[in-house]
Structure formats: C-alpha cells, structure tokens
Structure 1
Amino acid sequence: MDILILGGSSFLGRAYVTDALARGHRVTTFNRGVSGPDQPGAVAVHGDRNSPDDLARLVEGQHWDAVVDTSGQQPYAVAQTARLLRDRAGHYSFVSSIHAFADWPAEAVDEDSPTHDCPADTPADQPPANALKAGCERAVLEHFGERSSLLNCGLLIGPYENVGRLPWWLERIARGGRVILPGDPGRPMQLIDARDFAAFGIGLLEDGLTGRYVTTGPVGQTTMAGLLQACVEATGSDAELVRVDDEALLAAEVQPWTELPLWSPDEPDWAGIWQSDSSRARAAGLRDRPLAETVRDTWAWIVERGPREVPYTQGGTPLGISAERERMLLDGRAG
C-alpha cells in the first residue's frame, strides 16, 4: 500500500512509520521537520499542514491508498487537509482521543457514547481543548464518510513518549529512596503501548476496516502499584513505594494527572477514566504486549537517550512533583 502519514516523526507517528515500513508498505510522511528526525525508508515531505501552499505542494500529482492522520489537533486544519485529500486518497484514518467523548472521564465510554458538540470548522480559540478532537472527527467524516476510520486512543506509553508520564515515573524511581504510591494501589488502569496502537491502525488499513474504535488497554490491565513496581524492576532501583491516599493528596492540593502523572483520585468526576470498552478494537485485531515489556523498553530508550534538558510538560503544565513537596507528603506534613 501507498500510505501518507501526517506527522510521523515523534512517538505515535514514529511508531506508525516503523510498523508500516516493516510490513513492506510505501510510506510518505508530512510534517514540519522539527519534532524528530525523518525515518530511513520513508519519503519525507516537510511543510505546515496549516499552509494551503504546503498542502498543495504535498498532493500535486500524488495519490495514496490511505492517509493516517496522527497530528490533527484543530478542526479547521483537519477539514482543510481532508478536503484536499478526498480525491487523492482511498481512506482516511484519524487518530482521535478518548477526550472526544463528552461523558469521559466521569463515565465509561464505548463507540456509541456521545462526543462533544464541536463543529468541523471550529477555530482553535473557541471550545475547550477536549472538544477539539470531536470537531476533527466531524471534519474527517464530512469529507471521507464511510471511507474513514476514527481511533479514539487512550493513555499511550512506550519508547519515544514525548509527554513524559511514564518517563517521569521511571526517572523518579531510578533515583531511589521513598517514592509516593498515590491513591488506591489496586485501582485498575488501562494503558496502551504506542507500538501496539500503530500495529492495530495499520492492520485496519490492510483489512479494509472502517468506523470508530475505542483503542485503549484492556480494563484491569494493571494497577498503579503494578505499574510502579514494574518501574522498580526495570530500573533495578532500591526505591521504596510508600502509599499516600487520595484524601491526603487532595488535602494538599496535589494536581491529579500532572503533579503525579497518571494518578486520578477515586472520585465521581474520574469514575470512568480506566473503564473504556475496547472490545470492538480487540475483535478487529488489537493486541497488547505485556506491560513489563513496555516499561523495560521505555527505560532502555531513556538510558540510550541520556538526560533530558527540559522538563516534561502536558499542555504547557510541567509534569511531576517537587522533591520537597514529595518529602512533606511522605512525612505526613503536607496539607
């Protein structure tokens, strides 16, 4: 197959390129050339998807069997891209997010759950950020209809992760000492390796499957204690995991998801965060490697990469808790 990947230089896009090339497909990537190096074997075209001139240069005289959009964030930009590609590609696969569902994370979701009300031509500065993916989905459906697939991804982890949730924990645990084990140690979690997500996405293209797929790890795949213990084992650290319950963390105004990455309190507003139904994707071929393998591979990549010069951030918010604040919580002095 001839596949165009919008993105393709970092984390999930990189995983898509690697998987597609390994299967013998011909791959073209389109990105700005700033997030990571071009991968050998792919035809790299550099440009900005927000630029009509760059898009016109990309598509001139070209036709692809499928487009994989790993970089679409703004509805109007996705609409512009899909409009230009609808007669130049057979299929449009859009990597959306679980955030597109209006009831998540308070409720469990599946493919039939309602999405946020966000039109396909919405400017980026109007709706809440979580609604934008729903608008991007509508843009794809408007121009490709039944020739499209929507993949609502859950929490992605693995080598080359550029947000830094799992890398933050691995680096913290590698330093050793007492480490916060936040909330209920046995609370189930759903995580998915970006490489497994990409393999599923390319498999859908090969099988000619369309429609929406909630693409997360299985319910109950691991727990917070299981994840952090896997980090201890992968790093060979002497870290001691010390439970600090939800009540203490909330009383100290610790920010869920960012200050302690992947931690969400056991409260109604977060009740469905790790309960998404991915059974349709699994029936269509989604497979998960063992969590311990993902953690080990991510640590190996961190060691090979070396120290990171800038802090991890999510949407501009720094990830991780300060050493002093961590000590206060572990000593029961925060609040």
Structure 2
Amino acid sequence: MRLLMLGGTEFVGRAMTGAALERGWDVTVFHRGRHEPPDGVTALHGDRTTEDGLATLATGEWDAVIDTWSAAPSVVRDAARLLKGRVGRYVYISSRSVYAYPTGPGLDESAAVVEGSKDDGQVAYAEAKRGGELAAIDAFGDSALLVRAGLILGPHENIGRLPWWLNRVARAGRVLAPGPRDLPLQYIDVRDLATWTLDAIEQHLGGPYNLVSPPGHTTMGELLAACARTTGSDAEFVWTSPEAILKAGIEPWTQLPIWLPPGEDHDTMHQGNVAKALATGLHCRPVAETVEDTWTWLRSMGGQAPQRPDRPVVGLAPETEAAFLDGGH
C-alpha cells in the first residue's frame, strides 16, 4: 500500500506513519522539515500555507493520503485538488467538534454539524474541521473518509492532557481529584486511532465515522488510579464535587485536563455514539496500557512533553491547587 502522509512527524501523524511502516507500507511523508520523520519513509518538504508550497507533490501516485490539518480549510482544498486523480482515497482526520453544540448523549454521524466552507481561511476550530471535511468531499466524493476523532491520548501527545495528570500524580501529596469518581470518560488512544484508520483504508471505507472509545471505556477514578499505579505514587486523591470546583473558578478541561462536569459539555465530549466504527473493527486498548505507555515515553523525554504552539498550556497551577485544598476542600 502506498501512503502519502501530510505531516507525519508529531502525535497523530507520527502514529499513523509508524503503524503504516509496521504493515510494510510504502510511506511518503510531506512536512515542513521542523522535525525528523521516522526512519524508512520517503520525505518531501514543503509549507502548505505558502505559494507553491505543494510543489514537491506535483507528481506521484498513492493509494491513500492522510491529512491531519486543523487550520484554514482552504489548505485542505488546495491539497485535495492537487492530488485528485493521483490518490485513491483521501482520509481527513476531522473531529467530533464538527457537530452543532450541544450534541446531546448518544448522537451518531447523522447529527447536525456546524456551517463550514472549503474556501475558508482562518476560522474557529469546529468550522475549520468542517471546512476541511467539505474540501475532501469536494475533490474525492465517496472516496473521502472523514475520521471524526474525539479526545486523543497516548504516547507523543503534544497537547499535554495525560502528561499533566501523570506528572501531577507522580509529585504525590494531596491531589485535587475532580468528581464524581465514577464519571464516565470517552477517548481514543492514538495508536488505536491509527490502526482503525489504516484498516479503513484497506476496507475502502468512506464518509464520516466517529472515532473514540465506547462511552464509559474508563472513569475519572480509574484513570487517576492508573496514573498512581504507573508512577508508583502514594498521592492522596481529594475527591471533590463539581459544584465546589466550579464555585472556586477552576476551569474544567483546561485547568483540570480531560475532566468535564456532568452536563451538556460532558455529554458532548464523553457520550458519543461509536456503533458505526465498532461495527467496522474499532478496538480500544485498556486505559492502563495507554497510561503506562504514555508514562514510559514521558520519562524518556525527561518528564517534559512537547507543546503544540497553537494550543494553550493545560493544567492547574500548584499554588491554585494548594489554595483550594487548604481552604478546607
């Protein structure tokens, strides 16, 4: 299988590239040259946002292309148009953020989506991903596969969500644990995302697929317990009600990564319908494996995960946590 990977050197792209190489695929990575691509690929350089930035892709044929672009949809449009007729299938790694908010629990791929345009420049994330979908569909029609990923965790994460929790739990002491303890979580390990996507290429799948674990694949309590076991920490988890956390002005998702209190936001992020992906072979590894492998990688990085420059740094400042806990919580 001949695969063209647009990107391929960080987090999701890296996982896709690595999984394809493990299958013996012939992989071409098109990237800006800021990071070294994995051994065994053909590397092409270019900046998609500049004039003639796609020049090195003017020739060549591939069975599929995977595109993880998250910004201006016009960039996806230009790549898809250039590759039309020379690539069998266009795989766009989209997001469940394309659904019109609030999505409510249990909605599938038929749910209403936000407005978007393949010709848009810089727009908000949800509109950008929807515009990217439309760009892929415009050029490839039924041969466009739209992978609507949910929360993505795992080794090489460059957002910092699971790395923050691992480092925080490893420091031990009293840890603010956002409740309820049995709050269900829904996410996808980046390697399971890669495996399903490559399988989907082999199955010639097209159209939209929600790509995240089944609802309740783990819970907040199980996730933090896995962090403690993996890091060997004797941290004391101070389980705290959502009401107390919100009243203190502590922000879900950003200051307390992964966590969202029960309600519309939680239903949207952690209660999605993935029956379609499960029916086509989606397998999700246990949370303990994701946590353990992320910790192993994080330690190899000296405990410091890379940070995407276009995303805010996540996590609760130690002094904010201490002030909250010292206040009697």
**TM-score of the pair, normalised by structure 2:** 0.95
Decide whether the 8 Å contact of 1:108 with 1:273 is kept in 2.
no
Whether 1:173 aligns to 2:172 is: no
Determine the structure 1 residue equivalent to 2:324. 329
Decide whether the 8 Å contact of 1:244 with 1:330 is kept in 2.
no
In angstroms, what is the RMSD of aligned CA positions? 1.7
The aligned length equals 329
CA distance in 2, matches of 1:169, 1:105: 27
Determine the structure 1 residue equivalent to 2:195. 199
SS at match of 2:43: strand
CA distance in 1, matches of 2:127, 2:105: 16
SS at match of 2:145: strand
Q: State which drifts further: 109-118 or 155-164.
A: 109-118
User: Kindly tell me: are residues 309 and 81 of structure 1, through their superposed partners in 2, closer, same or farther at Cα, counting changes over 3 Å?
Assistant: closer
Decide whether the 8 Å contact of 2:160 with 2:305 is kept in 1.
no
**Structure 1 counterpart of 2:180, from 178, 181, 184:** 184
**Structure 2 counterpart of 1:115, from 113, 116, 124:** 113
State the 1:331 CA deviation.
Answer: 2.6
Determine the structure 1 residue equivalent to 2:46. 47
Structure 1: stretches of 5+ with no match in the other structure: none
Determine the structure 1 residue equivalent to 2:156. 160
Determine the structure 1 residue equivalent to 2:14. 14
**Structure 1 counterpart of 2:95, from 94, 97, 107:** 97
- Match for 2:211: what amino acid? T
CA distance in 2, matches of 1:309, 1:156: 15
User: Kindly tell me: are residues 278 and 306 of structure 1, through their superposed partners in 2, closer, same or farther at Cα, counting changes over 3 Å?
Assistant: same
State the 1:271 CA deviation.
Answer: 2.9
Determine the structure 1 residue equivalent to 2:312. 317
State the 1:183 CA deviation.
Answer: 2.5
Determine the structure 2 residue equivalent to 1:218. 214
Decide whether the 8 Å contact of 1:244 with 1:329 is kept in 2.
no
CA distance in 1, matches of 2:10, 2:124: 25
CA distance in 1, matches of 2:155, 2:103: 26
User: Kindly tell me: are residues 314 and 152 of structure 1, through their superposed partners in 2, closer, same or farther at Cα, counting changes over 3 Å?
Assistant: farther
SS at match of 1:149: strand
State the 1:52 CA deviation.
Answer: 4.1
Decide whether the 8 Å contact of 1:215 with 1:281 is kept in 2.
yes
- Match for 2:322: what amino acid? R
SS at match of 2:146: strand
**Structure 2 counterpart of 1:237, from 233, 240, 261:** 233
- Match for 2:254: what amino acid? T
Decide whether the 8 Å contact of 2:144 with 2:207 is kept in 1.
yes
State the 1:109 CA deviation.
Answer: 3.0
State the 1:240 CA deviation.
Answer: 1.0
State the 1:245 CA deviation.
Answer: 1.1
State the 1:175 CA deviation.
Answer: 0.6
Identity %: 42
Decide whether the 8 Å contact of 2:11 with 2:158 is kept in 1.
yes
CA distance in 1, matches of 2:218, 2:56: 46
Decide whether the 8 Å contact of 2:64 with 2:91 is kept in 1.
yes
**TM-score of the pair, normalised by structure 1:** 0.94
User: Kindly tell me: are residues 128 and 3 of structure 1, through their superposed partners in 2, closer, same or farther at Cα, counting changes over 3 Å?
Assistant: same
Determine the structure 1 residue equivalent to 2:242. 246
Q: Deviations over 1:48-92 (max 9, x none)?
A: 1123423122232x1111111123432111111111111211110
Decide whether the 8 Å contact of 1:98 with 1:104 is kept in 2.
no
- Match for 2:9: what amino acid? S
CA distance in 1, matches of 2:174, 2:105: 34
